[in-house]
Structure 1
Amino acid sequence: MTTLDVEATGTQVLTPAVAIIGAGPSGLRAAAELAPRVNGEVLVLERESVAGGIPRHSDHLGYGIRDRHAFLTGPRYAQLLRDEAAAAGARILTNAMVTGWAGDRSLAVTSPEGRIQVDAQAVILATGARERPRPARLIPGDRGRGVYTTGHLQNLVHLKHGRVGKKAVVVGAELVSWSAVMTLQHVGCRTVLMTTEYPKADSYAAFTGPGRVMFRTKVATRTRVVRILGRPDVTGVEVEHLDTGERRTIECDTVILTGDWIPDNELARAAGLPIDPVSKSPLVDTALRTGRPGVFAIGNVLHPVDTADVAALDGAAVAEHVVAYLAGQLPGDAQGSLTAERPFRWVSPSLWSATAPAPPRDRLLLWSEEFVAFPTVVVRQNGKEVARKRTPWPAAPGRVFRVPASIVEGIDWTAGPVTIGMAERR
C-alpha cells in the first residue's frame, strides 16, 4: 500500500487492495482470510478505539461455537480475532470514522491524525447492526435516568466499570436479552421482569428455561411497556397485556431495551446501494456483492441480527469472492430476486442467478414474525409453488431462521418473481 500526502488539502491518501469498514467478528475474520491472499494490503477501518465489535464488551461465555468449535467469553473471542487478523498481515486502523464516499471505492475517513482518503480496489461493508434506542421505539412517559440498550449497558459495565440500579425490567426476550440479564447480575442488579409481545419467549428454550430459574426472572409474554415512570431517575414501568388490555406498574430503577435491531446502513445508503425495504440492509447476491461493483457486504449489516460466529463465517465466505473479483473472475450479475412472504419479514441473500455460487454455509437466512414449531417452507414463482421443505426446527421471532439453499436449486431466475414463505397451517 502506498501512502501519499496531498499538500493542497492536507489529506493523507491510502491505497490498499481491500478496505474493510468495521472491525467486528465479520470484518476481522475477512481481514485474516484476505491478507495472505491478495496482492497489496488489507486495511480495516474501525471507529472505536479497540477492534473486536460487540463481543469485546460481552463478558460472558457463548462465543465461537460455530466458527471456532469452542465456548469462549466475548472479550477472549474478540482478542483471538484481532490477533489472527494482525498475524495474517492486515492493518487495523482504530479511531478511524468513515464519514462518506469520495468515489466508487474511495472512502473519506476522519481520525485523530487528520483526514484520510482510502482508495481501495475492493471495499467490504462490515458495519454490523444496533438496537433501536427509546426514541425510535416511541415509548412514552418520563425521561428519567436509567434507560439503556444492551450495547450501552455492556459498554458501561464491562468497559467503563460503571454501575446501574438494583432492579431492572428487560424489554425483549431474545438471546441478547439474556446477555443483558447476565450483565445486570454482574453488577448486582436483579432482573425482575422480561417482557415480550410474542406468545412465546423469543430465545431458545435452552436459554429461557434455565434463565428463569438461575436469575429468578419472570418472562411476561403478550405484554409491552407502554410508559416509563420517574424523574430524574426511573422508578418503574407500566406494562400492558396485549390480549386483555390490563395494565400494571412494575417497580424498577433500570430499563434495558434489547433486540429490535437495525443495520448500520448509513454508508450503504450514502452509496446509493439498493436497500431491502423491510430489513433496511443492503441487497446482496450469493457472492455477497452489493449493487456497486467491487463493494461487498457481510455480517449483521445483512442479517440483523445473527450470532457473532455466523457473522464471522460471512467474513470467511467473502474472502474467496473478493479474491475472484480482484482477478476478474466473478460470475455475471444476478438475474432475479428472492422476496420474503409473511410470516417472514426478510430473506438474505436476495439476489440470485443460475451461475451464482452457493451462499455462505449453503443457507438462506430469514426472520419470522410468528412462532411455528415445524414449519413447511414454500417457494413460489409467479404465484405457483415450485418447491417446499419441512424443517425439524422452529421458526421464531427474535432469532434467524435457516433454510438449506437447495430449496431454490433449479429455479429459472429470469422466468418471473420468486417468493419464499410458509404453507398454510391447519
Structure 2
Amino acid sequence: MRHEGTREERAARAVDVLVVGAGPAGLAAAARLAAAGAGRVEVLEREPEAGGAARLCAHPGFGADRRGRPLDGPGYAGRAVRAAVRAGAAVRTGVSVTGWAGPLVLETTAPTGLEAVRARAVVLATGARERARPARLLPGTRVRGVLTAGELQRTVALFGPRPERIGQRAVVAGDGPEAGHAVRLLRRAGVAVVAVVGEGPRAAVRAGGVPVLAETAVTEVTGRGRLAGVAVRGRDGRPRTVGCDTLVLTGDWVPEHALARAGGLPLAPGGRGPLVDGALRTAVPGVFAAGGLLHGGEPAARAAAEGRAVATAVLAHLGGGAPRAAEGLPVETSGPLRWVHPGLLGPAPAPLLLQAEHTLVRPLLTVRQDGRVLHRGRPAGVLPAWRSLRLDARWTRGADPGGGPVVVDVRE
C-alpha cells in the first residue's frame, strides 16, 4: 500500500537539502553542497544573524584572511556566510525549526508565519552551548551575576563593554581557551578579574597575569540579590571564599539536541548528540549531523571541516541507491572519558575523536574488542579536558565486523 503522507507532508515546500544551523559546520556544508550542484540548498538559522557563536567572539584565533591577516570571530563568520551565499545556498535567519512533520519534513516558524519544508536530505548542525548553573548543580543562593561565557559575549555584543551590566569584580571558572577569552573580554569591559578557578593543572590554565587557582573547583555561590562571592575547594580539601560580584562559567558543553530528540534520533551515550557513524549518518536515512552538535567546544575550523565532510556524505546519498541509516559497531568508553565520536564504527576506516572528563597527563589509551587489544599507546604530554584527541583509523582494520562493541579505555 502506498504511503500518501500526512496533510503537513503533502503541503510542504520542497528543497533538496535543508541545513539546520548557520554556524561553521552548517555554512561549510551548505557552501560545498551548493557548489557541487546539489540543487536547492537552504540553511535555517533561528538567530537574527548567521555565523553561529563565532560572530560574538571578538578575538583572533580564527585563521587568516587572503592577505595573511588574523581573523577574529566576526570576520570568520562573515566570510563563511559569504562563501555559502556565493555558492548558491539560501541562508534564512530568524527562522526556528520547531518539530518534524515527517522523516524528512521540518516544521518552522518565522515572522512570516508557519511553514513545513520537505527535503531530500537534512543536515542537523545546531551546535552546542555551555552548561548553565542549574545544569551544573552548583549550590548556593539564587543571585544575579552568574553567567556563562556565551552570555557574557552576547551581553557585550548587544550593550557594549559596560561594567554596570556585568559587574566590578569577576571570577572565571574553567581552564580551557574559553576561560582566557572571558578574561580578556572582561578586562576590555573594565571589569577586574580577581581569579581564574580551574580544575586542571596550572599548565592548562592561561589567564594572562590573573591569579590562577589550579586543581580547584567552585563549590558554592553566596550572596543576597547579587553575587557576593564563591566558595572554592582545592586539592588539599580546604575551603576558601573569593569575593566577587560576577562569576563566568566556561566550558562544559551540552549539545543543542532538542530537535534531534524530537525526531526520535538515538543519542550518543557520552556527548548526547545524535548517534552517527563515520559518514555522519543518523538512525534516520537521509538525516545527517555535524559540528558542535556532536562534540561541543571544538575549534570553528574543525566544525567547518566536518561540515565539508558531511556534504560529501549527503552528495553520495543524493546520488541514488537505497537510503542508508547509520551502521557499524558501537563504540563505548571506559575510564575518565567524556565522549567518543563517532559512536558507530562502520566498514570504512574513520578516525576517532576522544575527550577526557578532566585533564590527563600521558594517560594509557587502550582500544579493545571482545578482550582483544586493537590499539594501545600513550599520547605525549598533557591531554587537557577542553581539547579532543584524534586517534587515527589504522587500528580499525583489526576490528571484527561481527564482534561485540569496541571499547576505548583510558587509565591515568
TM normalised by structure 1 equals 0.88
Partner of 1:234: 227
Partner SS for 1:291: coil
Whether contact under 8 Å (1:382, 1:416) holds in the other structure is yes
Identity rate, percent? 43
- Among candidates 158, 179, 182, match of residue 180 of structure 1: 182
CA shift, 1:269, in A, is 0.8
CA shift, 1:122, in A, is 0.3
Counterpart residue type for residue 301 of structure 2: D
- Among candidates 288, 302, 309, match of residue 296 of structure 1: 288
Partner of 2:263: 271
- Among candidates 380, 383, 399, match of residue 395 of structure 1: 383
CA shift, 1:393, in A, is 4.9
Whether contact under 8 Å (1:202, 1:399) holds in the other structure is no
Counterpart residue type for residue 384 of structure 2: A
- Among candidates 346, 358, 368, match of residue 380 of structure 1: 368
Whether contact under 8 Å (1:122, 1:322) holds in the other structure is yes
Whether contact under 8 Å (2:21, 2:127) holds in the other structure is yes
- After TM superposition, the structure 1 = structure 2 runs for residues 52-67 of structure 1, keeping only pairs within 5 Å, are 52-64=51-63
Partner of 1:20: 19
Count, aligned residues: 401
Partner SS for 2:94: coil
CA shift, 1:347, in A, is 0.8
1:196-253 CA-partner distances (Å, limit 9, x unpaired): 23345645xxxx2xx3xx3x31221232222222232222222222x33322221112
1:44-97 CA-partner distances (Å, limit 9, x unpaired): 000000000111011011113799987310000000001111111100110100
CA shift, 1:328, in A, is 2.3
2:212 is aligned with 1:219: yes
Counterpart residue type for residue 312 of structure 2: E
Whether contact under 8 Å (1:275, 1:281) holds in the other structure is yes
Partner of 2:3: none
Structure 1 residues 139 and 100: alpha-carbon distance in aligned structure 2, compared to 1, 3 A threshold: same
Structure 1 residues 125 and 13: alpha-carbon distance in aligned structure 2, compared to 1, 3 A threshold: same
- After TM superposition, the structure 1 = structure 2 runs for residues 21-420 of structure 1, keeping only pairs within 5 Å, are 21-64=20-63, 71-161=70-160, 163=162, 164-200=166-202, 202=204, 208=206, 211=207, 214=208, 216-241=209-234, 243-328=235-320, 334-354=327-347, 356=348, 358-359=349-350, 363-420=351-408
Consecutive unaligned residues of structure 2, counting only runs of 5 or more, are 1-6
Whether contact under 8 Å (2:124, 2:287) holds in the other structure is yes
Structure 1 residues 58 and 30: alpha-carbon distance in aligned structure 2, compared to 1, 3 A threshold: same
Structure 1 residues 191 and 13: alpha-carbon distance in aligned structure 2, compared to 1, 3 A threshold: same
CA shift, 1:376, in A, is 4.0
CA shift, 1:353, in A, is 2.5
Task: Find the aligned partners of 1:249 and 1:342 in 2 and give their Cα distance.
Answer: 32
Task: Find the aligned partners of 2:119 and 2:288 in 1 and give their Cα distance.
Answer: 12
Structure 1 residues 116 and 88: alpha-carbon distance in aligned structure 2, compared to 1, 3 A threshold: same
Structure 1 residues 144 and 292: alpha-carbon distance in aligned structure 2, compared to 1, 3 A threshold: same
1:76-135 CA-partner distances (Å, limit 9, x unpaired): 000000111111110011010001111001101000110011101000000100111111
Counterpart residue type for residue 334 of structure 2: E
Of residues 335-344 and 130-139 in structure 1, the stretch that sits farther from structure 2 once superposed is 335-344
Task: Find the aligned partners of 2:67 and 2:316 in 1 and give their Cα distance.
Answer: 25
Partner SS for 1:235: strand
Structure 1 residues 368 and 66: alpha-carbon distance in aligned structure 2, compared to 1, 3 A threshold: farther
TM normalised by structure 2 equals 0.91
